[in-house]
Structure 1
């Protein structure tokens, strides 16, 4: 098999984004654009990826990691000049190189693989990824020979009226014979209005030498979309969202309103799960089968087992068992772990805690830095008082304990298995198992107090 290499163009600052964040690091579906490209290229079996960095080089490297090579373009002198920076890594190697922009997040591994296969099958020196555009205004037009090889690319400003009617456009993604690419780049000049070295000039030079130049047309114009400003970023976000949502619907997930449902690229969802409108799933989220999520629920970096329902709630960095009921209006903060058949009701906040099977906190409670066993009932308004202003302490509630309404458990403290804490208690000492703890002021009644007061 032919060796395959990739050059990812990620050096531009992206002034039209009008942002402190470098263009290729702007997220689409929760992932930076350049990361989308790197992930798709790795799926194509690329032997080596060289990312051209410039503005924000360290941030781009931090995002993509050490498994990718980098070449620095200190001055931005055009696309041809950018690719030249990869010569130290790739020059002289035999194989095929695909050149792709880091601001084309919708480009898929399937399309890039087809482009590579077409290029290698035709034994071309260069192959252009093209697309059919209903409105080709602003794009370079692709003119073909009778045998379907490429005659030339004509930019919009240079096209005559006949050429402007052509709807096959240049997407800016190319395949080259690797040796030929770097040999030809040395012949590219910068005698143009911008004084830059343009990569498409390589195609023109190769054509003039009589070399084989081909084109492969993408099946989806939207996939080739480049992002240069916030409007295009929004359009890419919408396309990615619809693509992801359609995938999961075809996998057996019910999405009640796809337009109002956001699913990140690293999410997995089991069959017969229902997502209601306003559901947001971000980061690495795993949702089992037969779950019901939403409406208006946000889940990030969490695992959810089969048959769980989450309504109008926020779940972050948590692990949730099977057949759990959460919400409405619950907040699960990082390091929360719930067993099976747990109930977490409205206005309950959980943080850095575990709760065993069949336990419940039905409403209006804060449970943080706690270990709660199985079969525990936490009454309305109960709080684990975990913070003394400097340090946080652990509350332990063992199996089958019952915490009455409006109780304060002052950590560090343990409530033993099968014990009861009376409503309104403030518990400062450990409660032995099978005991009743009452820690509140004894009720006092002064008969006629108000009548006697009024007589004075």
Structure 2
């Protein structure tokens, strides 16, 4: 799901704050590397900056979590991170990026890696506020319960007089419901020039980014606020808050897909990923999970209790119920992947069917081929993976084991229960099982013998 904004008139840069320790998550995974919709919180923040058209992105990380910096640099390259050590407040964190942006001329926005719902579309109005003449722009929201938030003290036309932190607020200010999201934008020189004068003479002994507003006003500059819905700026500090943000994201994405013509009889039971692509005309039954990297073409039906990840589903295909599509699965138009069938790195041709209890791993299935129940592509010898290829119109008998590398030709067949270890030519029948032997009367004699032994023991 993208949230691109129009090309900016002035150059833009972003400073993303990701240095918090996240102790309330109670997890060995750093807070900002937890995932929402299958994507790390940090990546969501980077997405927002890129979609805003930011040509420079600097992520402020902490010395305590080197994994965060490694993750950012893997995506953005060397020089994309700076370290705040020790942590001394949000103003101090932004100052850590000063040298990295020393040669940048344009507007800088400060965002937070633990606010995954704050997209480019949410932030963009700040740049409009700057374009209209403000020196500093702050993103605010109307809080249902403002307890704990910094309050925005406003004048006419959202003129921002000051931001007062909860611990510094008097009784009257605590009644204000206009709150600070923390997101701020200003010209680079203006921002860092004011930050140089921020002091830590407050209840926490920290350098507050919010003090920029008061200092700007004291210099005769103008600060204004733009507002966003509370849900779009909610932060993630604990596991319950991560789940709450996930619920907001999922609900919004499901609503958008249904508006585009996707049928979901029980939408609350469908779980989507950040990049899930579903065309109008698709039906998704209850309790379906989409991992990252899935696209589904129009007319397809994803039946209940299926799990898809890294897969492409063609027009009119039928998936499930209880199917699993793993990375590399490509399901052709009108193909069927049915009950308890797992497909991994296999291209399934148009109209092919694998309806029951099968594992298809590494290879291909030709158009209109039929894979019988219990078929296994034996793709792994304990060290290496090998491919199995089933030709167009081939018929694989139930309970067949195809031992890769092997090819079953176009229109060929395998007998039920066969173990196929050699290629089968086009149009041939392959039987890979022992000849059946029948011993007349053996079962009756066996039962009589066993019953006699049982009676003797009694």
Between the aligned partners of 1:130 and 1:448, the Cα distance in structure 2 is 85
Task: Output the TM-score relative to the length of structure 2.
Answer: 0.89
Match 2:267 to one of 258, 267, 288: 258
> What is the aligned partner in structure 1 of residue 435 from structure 2?
441
Instruction: Give CA deviations for 1:179-234 in whole Å, capped at 9, x if unaligned.
Output: 0111121111222343321111122211222210110011x210000111111101
Matches within 5 A, 1:189-200: 189-200=199-210
Between the aligned partners of 2:196 and 2:242, the Cα distance in structure 1 is 34
Match 1:45 to one of 22, 43, 53: 53
RMSD: 2.1
Match 1:300 to one of 297, 309, 313: 309
> What is the aligned partner in structure 2 of residue 240 from structure 1?
249
Q: 1:314 to 1:191 in 2, by over 3 A?
A: same
1:160 is displaced (CA, Å) by 3.4
Number of aligned residues: 429
> What is the aligned partner in structure 2 of residue 432 from structure 1?
none
> What is the aligned partner in structure 2 of residue 380 from structure 1?
398
> What is the aligned partner in structure 2 of residue 77 from structure 1?
88
1:95 is displaced (CA, Å) by 1.6
User: Would you say 1:91 and 2:102 are equivalent positions?
Assistant: yes
> What is the aligned partner in structure 1 of residue 222 from structure 2?
212
Is 256-265 or 144-153 further displaced after alignment? Answer: 144-153
- The structure with the largest strand share of the pair is 1
Structure 2 stretches of 5 or more lacking a match?
1-8, 379-386, 453-458
> What is the aligned partner in structure 1 of residue 417 from structure 2?
406
Structure 1 stretches of 5 or more lacking a match?
387-392, 427-439
User: Would you say 1:178 and 2:188 are equivalent positions?
Assistant: yes
Between the aligned partners of 2:413 and 2:61, the Cα distance in structure 1 is 60
> What is the aligned partner in structure 2 of residue 28 from structure 1?
36
> What is the aligned partner in structure 2 of residue 18 from structure 1?
26
Q: 1:449 to 1:283 in 2, by over 3 A?
A: closer
> What is the aligned partner in structure 2 of residue 106 from structure 1?
117
Between the aligned partners of 1:331 and 1:232, the Cα distance in structure 2 is 34
Between the aligned partners of 2:242 and 2:108, the Cα distance in structure 1 is 27
Match 2:332 to one of 312, 321, 329: 321
Q: 1:227 to 1:416 in 2, by over 3 A?
A: same
> What is the aligned partner in structure 1 of residue 298 from structure 2?
289
Matches within 5 A, 1:288-367: 288-311=297-320, 312-317=322-327, 318-333=329-344, 335-367=345-377
User: Would you say 1:67 and 2:76 are equivalent positions?
Assistant: yes
SS of 2:85 mapped into structure 1: coil
Instruction: Give CA deviations for 1:14-65 in whole Å, capped at 9, x if unaligned.
Output: 1111111111111001000110111121111112111111232344433453
Q: 1:63 to 1:148 in 2, by over 3 A?
A: closer
Between the aligned partners of 2:257 and 2:446, the Cα distance in structure 1 is 73
